[in-house]
Amino acid sequence: MIKNILIAIFIILGMVVILNFSEHNLKRAVDACLAGSQKLSESKITDLEEARIFCEEKIRAEKNR
């Protein structure tokens, strides 16, 4: 009985950690996309929020592919 409860708690904690880590990776990928687009662009990005939305959409589309 106690063994089953501990296994369930371990699985739940593992899922929480994985979900949080996945969001962290997305944030890092978006930051890298923004930095890369600023370096490669001849003119600097004027609207940072618009660029962030563009990068998030591209990364999520590639992730779901």
| pLDDT, block means (10 residues), the chain with 65 residues | 92 87 78 76 64 80 75
Separation of alpha carbons 55 and 49, rounded Å: 10
Q: Enumerate the domain spans of the chain.
A: 21-65
pLDDT at position 10 is: 94
Q: What is the reported pLDDT for 37?
A: 72
Cα–Cα nearest to 46, from 55, 57, 59, 37: 37
What pLDDT sits at residue 9? 94
Per the CB < 8 A criterion, the answer to whether 55 and 33 are in contact is: yes
